[in-house]
Structure 1
Amino acid sequence: MATTTEVPGPAGLPLLGSMFDLKNDSLGTFLAAQREHGDVVRITAGPPGVRATVYGVFSAEGVQQVLATDSANFRKDNAFYQELRESFGNGLLTSQDDDYLRQRRLVQPLFTRRRVDSYAEAVAAEVRAVVGGWATAPDATVDVLDEMTRLALRAVSRILFGTDVDAAVEIVERAFPVMNDYVFRRGFSPLNIPREWPTPGNRRAAVAHEELYAVCDRIIAERRAAGTAEGGQDLLTLLAEAESAEDGSFDASELREQVLVFLLAGHETTATSLGFALHLLARHPEEQKRAHEEVDRVLSGRTPGAADLDALPYLTRVLKETMRLFPAAPAVGRRAVTATEIGGHTVPAGADVIVSSWVTHRHPAYWEDPDRFDPERFTPEAEASRPRYAWFPFGGGPRACIGQHFSMLESVIALAMILQEYALEAVDTEVPVTSAITLRATGPARVRLRARTA
């Protein structure tokens, strides 16, 4: 294919480009740009002088190039990642180069399949606690996105901190949404005022930032004072003990930053997948019936464990299809180091590049009737027929999410336990969403519960 430097894209408004479109509906803007202009698009936003330009890359082959094949050329050097670093530190999510490689080597042994599988019992205990409260839900109705956010946060907090769950959960529930909105708004604004200026938004963010750091510092200090015998084998203890001759160990600041990454990123992805999976099943009775039948046949009423994951393939397909339709990280940014050819177009050096699972997961070249919920898209045969990066909810390449097996373990266990207890009927038939750091619902996802057992 011949290369051209002219990258197509929406014209937008004469002076402001696509600024309002991106602000009001960034995911819809990316999707429309792909449909109208192809798999590599150029989108401008903002007035002259502070205008931002972003290049969207939407084909599976282009995504693979950005995240994997040419990943060294596409770095986390853009304004969004700088805002993330200032808010959450230079942990595994935001670090680069030698810092990242050192952190990854220290953390990797904590995320082996055997280690992650050992957390299944703790996950089941938190599912039991959250679902147990549904028996008294008013009108037998719950918002499954809210409930799964609470569940996922409690589960990752227990695995991180052991018994110190409630202290972390209360603060994260209050502070994280504030930081989520603040980082996203600043990361994609063409012009920001200094964080130090005492505006209402800056003050709210500063308070939330201090609360998140303080709870992590307090729990870390208490755990170190108590010693390993008290701490047990929770993830915080293992992080504090992580050490190698080549990489040393984490100092206090690094330890806090890793804890924040796992606490925040670790609950958002799983909560999104679980909440939308429940809502989709509530809207699709035939698929829900198949899921109930598999759970009943495989588990016969017992609590699922890590060894049951392979025996629950339909539940896994339900979750994968959910992550196709509602990926927790719907758009991921990078910055090009050098000019690069992608899909017959030249992306210039220094360009901000977006790959969007929201768009690629709906690409008609890979997905027939892409808006339809169909777990059969994820049979082994169907998966083998598609390009590797037609589906990438956990990213890919050397920066792929280190916690993806934990997310799947927690999601399958939770979904199975909920379906053992309840049949679901959707109250809200559609759930509007928007994109911040992660995918967020802008309306309720209520489900009516019917107990399956006396």
Structure 2
Amino acid sequence: MTTTRTEAPELAGLPLLGSMFDLKNDALGTFLRARRDHGDVVKITAGPPGIRSTIYAVFSAEGAQQVLAGESANFRKDNTFYQEIRESFGNGLLTSQDEDYLRQRRLVQPLFTKRRVDGYAEAVAAEVTTLLGEWQDGGDETVDVHHEMTRFALRAVARILFGTDVDAAVEIVERSFPELGAYVLSRGYAPLRVPRDWPTPGNRKAAAVHRALYEVCDRIIAERRASGRASAEGDDLLTLLVEAESAEDGSFDATELREQVLVFLLAGHETTATSLGFALHLLAKHPEVLKRAHEEVDRVLGGRTPGAADLDALPYVTQVLKETMRLFPAAPVIGRRAVATTVIDGVTIPAGADVVVASWVTHRHPAYWEDAERFDPDRFTPEAEAARPRYAWFPFGGGPRACIGQHFSMLESVIALAMILQGYGFEAVDTEVPVGSAITLQVAGPVRCRLVPRTA
């Protein structure tokens, strides 16, 4: 993958605005075109002269590994988008850096051990049972699977975070996150950003949403602190966060608790919702894959509810989800800022440059994926995975900042998909689904499937 160039080739754009509108209107397509036309490291400029921004986009697996893992200390979360996320969602694990991040990670890590996460399987299964009951009682033959899986995943993570305080959080979060995400995106791409406290319509709307989101989190945290271990389910994550403490790192104050809760709500439902929604969409379009998944679920589970111990016995369901995350990664673009000058794939990246790695592109790179747009879960057999570079697939990021909740996401996704497949088959209504990129992968249209109840 190494080239002999020392300066990055530049993606052609408009004379005055560069690729500003291309990135704003179709960032994922723009990155795909950049790799196709110019290679694995491409310079992209956006905005008018004087306030123009420059991005170095990195598309190879080796380059992604260098940015996220091998030289991770040289690539920090100091860019504009992370600053906007920080101001909207707080300085939790997603956005914090340096000693703040290390302290938070040490306090939170015991909450995400395999043993602890496996203990949430029953709560996940309970929410899937509720979902299936709603489908059965609703009488609808067609559902938007992205909407349904977003609703399910949000309820599941809220249940695990708050115990029985689910409904109060879900209603606010379901409305707030998309609005704040759009606000962050618009400010991130704006050549000039007015201060947030200026009374513009956009600022006022975002501030109101922001207050509502903070208020519901603060209320639940205050009630939990006042009542101690009052959750009906005992070991919800909020209780554990309240009690998290060490001699070295102390404990979380109220602001820090809120910021961790917001990160878990955002990251904890987006990845699962995206994976499950598109898994059902892809299975509906590929009946031969759906048939194999049905056969595995029936053979392994025999009609019973799956638990954490069943994950290893459902390899094909897991492969379906991994291939879905290849084609539709929840975090399709990850940004960093270079501290010092470095070289990636033979191209010089200057100090202070904004750098992105794009799993959306790397997951389609012809060097690692033959006929990359084809849905094929057999790409993720153990033998096939071992034959590819480590960072040819990185839906959870990588290196020291890899997603702390990736085992939980896979546990939740496998259990949910297996239970859904026990009861239903699917036929695609919408065969093409437009997507875009904000903080996470955004669905720009319906993802409707026809439900086909399975008979015993």
TM-score, normalization by structure 1: 0.99
What is the SS of the residue equivalent to 2:330? coil
Aligned to 2:147: 146
Alignment of 1:152-231 (within 5 A): 152-230=153-231
Q: Counterpart of 2:379 in 1: which secondary structure?
A: helix
In 1, the alpha carbon distance for the partners of 2:137 and 2:110 equals 42
| Equivalent position of 1:125 in the other structure | 126
Residue 441 (str. 1) matches residue 443 (str. 2): yes
Which residue does 1:414 correspond to in 2?
Answer: 416
Q: Which residue in the other structure is 1:332 paired with?
A: 334
CA distance in 1, matches of 2:236, 2:440: 26
| Structure 1 residue 98: Cα displacement | 0.5
**Cα displacement (A) at 1:136:** 4.1
The answer to whether the 8 A contact 1:281-1:288 is kept is yes
Gaps of 5+ in 2: none
For residues 171 and 130 of structure 1, the distance between their equivalents in structure 2, rounded to whole angstroms, comes to 20
The one-letter code matched in structure 1 to 2:268 is: G
String of CA shifts for 1:53-105, please: whole Å, max 9, x gaps.
Answer: 00000000000000000000000001111111111111000000000000000
- What SS does the corresponding residue of 1:261 show, helix, strand or coil? helix
Amino acid aligned to 1:304:
P
- Once the 2 structures are TM-superposed, how far is the Cα of residue 230 of structure 1 from its aligned partner? 4.2
Secondary structure at 2:16 match in 1: coil
Which moved further from structure 2: 45-54 or 227-236? 227-236
3-state secondary structure, aligned to 2:450? strand
| Deviation, structure 1 residue 188 | 2.6
Deviation string 1:367-409 (CA, Å, 9 cap, x unpaired) is: 0000000000000000000000000000000000000000000
**Contact 2:10-2:43 within 8 A present in 1 as well:** yes
Give the superposition deviation at 1:417.
Answer: 0.5
Is 1:32 matched up with 2:16? no
> How far is 1:189 from its partner?
2.1
SS of residue matched to 1:228? coil
Q: Distance in 1 between matches of 2:4 and 2:335?
A: 23
2:12 matched to which residue of 1? 11
**2:279 corresponding residue in structure 1:** 277
Give the counterpart letter for 1:159 in structure 2. Answer: I
The change in CA–CA distance for 1:161 and 1:356 in structure 2 (over 3 A counts) is: same
Distance 2:4 2:199 in 1: 49
Deviations 1:307-349 (A, max 9, x none): 0000000000000000000000000000000000000010000
Once the 2 structures are TM-superposed, how far is the Cα of residue 146 of structure 1 from its aligned partner? 0.1
SS for the counterpart of 2:335 is strand
State the match for 2:434 in structure 1.
432
Aligned partners of 1:3 and 1:346 also within 8 Å = no
| 2:98 equivalent in structure 1 | 97
- Percent of residue pairs identical: 80
- What is the CA deviation profile of residues 199-237 of structure 1, one whole-angstrom value per residue up to 9, with x for unaligned ones? 111111111111110010000011112211546210000
Aligned ranges for residues 246-265 of structure 1 at < 5 Å? 246-265=248-267
* 2:163/2:231 contact within 8 Å kept: no
Runs of 4+ in 1 over 3 A off after TM superposition: 1-5, 136-139
Distance (Å, rounded) in 2 between the aligned partners of 1:365 and 1:188: 31
Q: In the TM superposition, what whole-angstrom CA distance separates every residue of 1:12-53 from its partner, at most 9, and x where no partner exists? A: 111111111111100000010001000000000111011110
In structure 1, list runs of 5 or more residues that go unmatched: none
Tell me the equivalent position of 2:54.
53
Q: Distance in 2 between matches of 1:376 and 1:309?
A: 17
Q: Give secondary structure in 1 for the equivalent of 2:148.
A: helix
Partner amino acid for 1:165?
V
User: Helix, strand or coil for the counterpart of 2:73?
Assistant: helix
Query: Distance between the aligned counterparts of 1:108 and 1:29, measured in 2?
Result: 37
Task: Note closer, same or farther for the CA distance 1:112–1:281 as it changes in structure 2 (3 Å cut).
Answer: same
Structure 1 residues 150-197: Cα deviation after superposition (integer angstroms, max 9, x where no partner):
000000000000000000000001111100101121123221111111
Is the 1:34–1:58 contact (alpha carbons within 8 Å) kept by the matching residues of 2?
Answer: yes
After superposition, the Cα gap between the structure-2 partners of 1:137 and 1:428, relative to the gap in structure 1 and judged at 3 Å, is farther
CA distance in 1, matches of 2:304, 2:3: 59
- Tell me how far apart the structure 2 counterparts of residues 348 and 138 of structure 1 sit (CA, whole Å): 59
Equivalent residue for 2:386? 384
Deviation at 1:453, TM superposition (A): 2.9
Aligned equivalents of 1:61, 1:347: Cα separation in 2: 15
For 2:64 and 2:102, how far apart are their aligned partners in 1?
22
Within the alignment, does 1:42 sit opposite 2:74 as a pair? no
Counterpart of 2:337 in structure 1: which amino acid? R
Q: Deviations along 1:220-265, whole A, 9 cap, x unmatched?
A: 0111122115462100000010111111111111011001100111
Per-residue deviation, residues 89-138 of structure 1 (Å, max 9, x unmatched) = 11000000000000000000000000000000000000111121112445
Structure 1 CA distance, aligned partners of 2:383 and 2:84?
A: 41
Partner SS for 1:270: helix
Within 5 A, what are the aligned runs for 1:304-319?
304-319=306-321
Aligned partners of 1:26 and 1:435 also within 8 Å: yes
Cα 1:2–1:150, aligned 2, differ >3 Å: closer, same or farther? Answer: closer
1:51 maps to a residue whose letter is R
Aligned partner of 2:67 in structure 1 is 66
- Aligned residues: CA RMSD: 1.1
Contact preservation (8 Å) 1:337, 1:349? yes
- AA aligned to 1:236 is L
Q: Name the amino acid aligned to 1:434.
A: G
Measured in 2, the distance between the counterparts of 1:108 and 1:153 equals 22
Does structure 2 retain, via aligned residues, the 8 Å contact 1:3–1:341? no
The residue identity in structure 1 corresponding to 2:54 is T
Change beyond 3 A, Cα 1:49–1:225:
same
Equivalent in the alignment of 1:423: 425
- TM-score with structure 2 length normalisation? 0.98
